[in-house]
Chain A
């Protein structure tokens, strides 16, 4: 095992981690605000990838346009889902809305299969980002570096938005105590719409970014979703910083696992989660109110 390979692998872990971060951020804020685990999140990610495919193959063959427009489209779609579907179930026990998101996942996956076929569709790396970059100590595909950069920017932007704007402040208060927020006269239902939109938009962005690496398939979200639950649990339910740190940790665990003992790479994260939860049941930055 040479040093170059180790570095490459750590970078690959970062790639995987970046996708986890984007997805887990959305899962986490939706969980904090609505108190539900959104099973449709993986399907939103898949839909983002298909949206990018549709735009680049049928409308305007420009990856950059897709990169900008898909998250916005997906955010609108998520908000619509909230207004039309989720909103009706807030007063019922949380199990109902969880079932709804589960059903939504199945519907979206089958819709993708009906429209685009079960075999998946091709998605090339954008022309300007093909090839490798010399980093001095190794060569690395430029698209992957780009992915890390975009994810970092997106995570930073979400953090800025949540910590420095009034709206972000309302969302953070909402994830903490929605009832109190309502008592203070804040229009909570509008905030809910916004939060689901934001989470879905991030999932859509992850979909656009993942498409050139993995191609686009109806079930592409399923594989990532389960890992994302692990990320959110390790990071701490409803904690945004936890999503970021948890995502990066899980990405690295898989990458290092592959170097050490490949057949166990994907199982390692569950072992890690189990061990971690024994020591810290609420996850890294989880708040006590959720579980303890």
Chain B
């Protein structure tokens, strides 16, 4: 008898234990976001703070999504493609991140896009500008945000041909990025019926641009296009000023940030460049973001920072719409999505090639006398709509794999 009772009691206890185990809610899986960027290489001064931009976007969600915490990690790739490749692998495999953002340097971006494809996890490229990411090398897991080389060249190219002159001379940094830009600039000029008087290929890191500047002077162009970035942009512009070329021609740049102007005084005054955003813009949420940023860093954000904030925010919103952090539902929530935020007003993520497109702004660097506020170095002189600033998705060469 007693035994029976014992057996029943044990069975009861066991069953209670068993059911209680089954009914415990599953431990929440955090969403893990990562930024892979250049924090100690040549673009550190521009992209290093993208880490902070991503943190801000996460904080604006209260650090939680779908009731789960959001975790954040970042890695420095020093602008080296091989390092980027290895860090991306590490992030997807060891850190088990759900998404990677940014990654300046085109070769590095292409390497990470490949890792994203292998690991079947999203990668949202911001800093890497190559059109191949949303062209021949596009894949289902890779998105390109805010700008690409085609847009950098085409927007200011079209605008310059209409407003500055149709006789151009180009000085090009002699590597893939420079060649790419030269191609797109020439196309824009051709479309407007202008002539390219000449081009000089210049080795990266040349310290004396004066001979090329002299050659450009002899050709008597209306517009000098400098297809370089960072210190090469500084040196070439400085020497154009020194030889008196700046008085005779308008200068157009491929890439120029407020930090570049801060670091080089008034040499860029009056020059033109394409930007994806400017901190004086009145897009929804723009002012609040700039205020917050200024409080933290004592300076306004550049457009790479704003693009990072926008990309992380839109990704989190897509997770909310998909009600899941799994790659495919989130990708589907992103594809074809139209939105308005601080960066893009309006913006659209094209399903055909995963390019996020918005307006391209033509920025003109102010003359020293026009600068009323520190860091307010640009005037927006023109806006190029997305359908003109970006290639038609039919022409990008992207074959998007839509398999589930």
- Residues in chain A within 8 A of chain B (CB atoms): 2, 5, 8-9, 12, 15-16, 117-125, 132, 139, 141, 143-144, 213-215, 217, 220, 223-224, 254-255, 258-259, 262-263, 265-266
Main secondary structure of the interface of A (DSSP, over half): helix
Interface size class of B (residues with CB under 8 A): 35 or more
Interchain nearest-CB distance for A134 vs B (Å)? 12
B211–A215 touching, CB < 8 Å? no
Number of A-B contacts (CB under 8 A): 84
| Chain B neighbourhood of A258, CB < 8 A | 211-212
B215–A214 touching, CB < 8 Å? no
Q: List 12 A-B contacts (CB under 8 A).
A: A8-B211, A117-B45, A118-B44, A118-B45, A119-B45, A120-B263, A139-B244, A213-B239, A215-B263, A262-B201, A263-B203, A265-B203
A262–B212 touching, CB < 8 Å? yes
Report the separation of the CA atoms of residues A213 and B267 in the bound assembly, to the nearest whole angstrom: 12
| Chain A neighbourhood of B267, CB < 8 A | 122
A213–B238 touching, CB < 8 Å? yes
Quick one: CB contact mask for B48-60 with A, threshold 8 Å, 1 for yes?
A: 0000000000000
Interface residues of B in 259-274 (CB under 8 A from A): 259-260, 262-267
B264–A122 touching, CB < 8 Å? yes
B202–A141 touching, CB < 8 Å? no
| Chain B neighbourhood of A214, CB < 8 A | 207, 235, 238
| Chain B neighbourhood of A8, CB < 8 A | 210-211, 214
Q: Other than the known A9-B214, A119-B46, A141-B243, what 9 A-B pairs have Cβ atoms closer than 8 Å?
A: A121-B263, A122-B265, A214-B235, A215-B235, A220-B207, A259-B211, A262-B201, A262-B202, A265-B203
Q: Which of A132, A224, A266 has the most CB of B within 10 A?
A: A266
Report the separation of the CA atoms of residues A259 and B208 in the bound assembly, to the nearest whole angstrom: 13
Closest 8 CB pairs of A and B: A122-B265, A119-B45, A119-B263, A258-B211, A118-B45, A122-B264, A120-B263, A141-B242
B242–A143 touching, CB < 8 Å? yes
- With CB as the reference atom, state the residue of chain B lying closest to A5: B214
B200–A262 touching, CB < 8 Å? yes
B208–A16 touching, CB < 8 Å? yes
B238–A215 touching, CB < 8 Å? yes
- With CB as the reference atom, state the residue of chain B lying closest to A142: B242
Asked whether any CB of chain A lies closer than 8 Å to the CB of B382, the reply is: no
Report the separation of the CA atoms of residues A278 and B78 in the bound assembly, to the nearest whole angstrom: 38
| Chain B neighbourhood of A5, CB < 8 A | 211, 214-215, 218
Report the separation of the CA atoms of residues A123 and B259 in the bound assembly, to the nearest whole angstrom: 15
- With CB as the reference atom, state the residue of chain B lying closest to A217: B231
Question: Pick the contact of B262 from A119, A255, A266 — CB < 8 Å?
Answer: A119
Report the separation of the CA atoms of residues A60 and B317 in the bound assembly, to the nearest whole angstrom: 54
Quick one: CB contact mask for B240-267 with A, threshold 8 Å, 1 for yes?
A: 0011100000000000000110111111
| Chain B neighbourhood of A263, CB < 8 A | 174, 201, 203
Asked whether any CB of chain A lies closer than 8 Å to the CB of B205, the reply is: yes
Interchain nearest-CB distance for B214 vs A (Å)? 5
- With CB as the reference atom, state the residue of chain B lying closest to A140: B243
Report the separation of the CA atoms of residues A259 and B200 in the bound assembly, to the nearest whole angstrom: 11
A223–B211 touching, CB < 8 Å? no
| Chain A neighbourhood of B203, CB < 8 A | 262-263, 265-266
Question: Pick the contact of B208 from A12, A119, A122, A141 — CB < 8 Å?
Answer: A12
Report the separation of the CA atoms of residues A149 and B163 in the bound assembly, to the nearest whole angstrom: 43
Interchain nearest-CB distance for B299 vs A (Å)? 11
| Chain A neighbourhood of B182, CB < 8 A | none
| Chain A neighbourhood of B218, CB < 8 A | 2, 5
Question: Pick the contact of A125 from B214, B242, B262 — CB < 8 Å?
Answer: B242
| Chain B neighbourhood of A12, CB < 8 A | 208, 210-211
Report the separation of the CA atoms of residues A144 and B214 in the bound assembly, to the nearest whole angstrom: 15
Asked whether any CB of chain A lies closer than 8 Å to the CB of B206, the reply is: yes
B242–A120 touching, CB < 8 Å? no
| Chain B neighbourhood of A262, CB < 8 A | 200-203, 211-212
| Chain B neighbourhood of A119, CB < 8 A | 45-46, 259-260, 262-263
| Chain A neighbourhood of B259, CB < 8 A | 119
B211–A9 touching, CB < 8 Å? yes
Report the separation of the CA atoms of residues A132 and B241 in the bound assembly, to the nearest whole angstrom: 11
Asked whether any CB of chain A lies closer than 8 Å to the CB of B234, the reply is: yes
Question: Pick the contact of B234 from A9, A139, A215, A259 — CB < 8 Å?
Answer: A215
A122–B263 touching, CB < 8 Å? yes
Report the separation of the CA atoms of residues A266 and B206 in the bound assembly, to the nearest whole angstrom: 8
| Chain A neighbourhood of B243, CB < 8 A | 132, 141
| Chain A neighbourhood of B207, CB < 8 A | 16, 214, 220, 223-224
A117-B45, A141-B243, A224-B207 are known contacts. Are A124 and B200 too (CB-CB below 8 A)? no
| Chain A neighbourhood of B234, CB < 8 A | 120, 215
| Chain A neighbourhood of B266, CB < 8 A | 122, 124
A15–B242 touching, CB < 8 Å? no
- With CB as the reference atom, state the residue of chain A lying closest to B267: A122
Report the separation of the CA atoms of residues A170 and B201 in the bound assembly, to the nearest whole angstrom: 49
Report the separation of the CA atoms of residues A265 and B205 in the bound assembly, to the nearest whole angstrom: 12
- With CB as the reference atom, state the residue of chain A lying closest to B174: A263
Report the separation of the CA atoms of residues A247 and B225 in the bound assembly, to the nearest whole angstrom: 32
| Chain A neighbourhood of B263, CB < 8 A | 117, 119-122, 215
- With CB as the reference atom, state the residue of chain B lying closest to A117: B45
A15–B265 touching, CB < 8 Å? no
Report the separation of the CA atoms of residues A161 and B40 in the bound assembly, to the nearest whole angstrom: 43
| Chain B neighbourhood of A217, CB < 8 A | 231
Interface residues of B in 109-147 (CB under 8 A from A): none
| Chain B neighbourhood of A141, CB < 8 A | 242-243
Report the separation of the CA atoms of residues A262 and B216 in the bound assembly, to the nearest whole angstrom: 14
Report the separation of the CA atoms of residues A290 and B149 in the bound assembly, to the nearest whole angstrom: 52
Quick one: CB contact mask for B149-184 with A, threshold 8 Å, 1 for yes?
A: 000000000000000000000000010000000000
Interchain nearest-CB distance for B80 vs A (Å)? 15
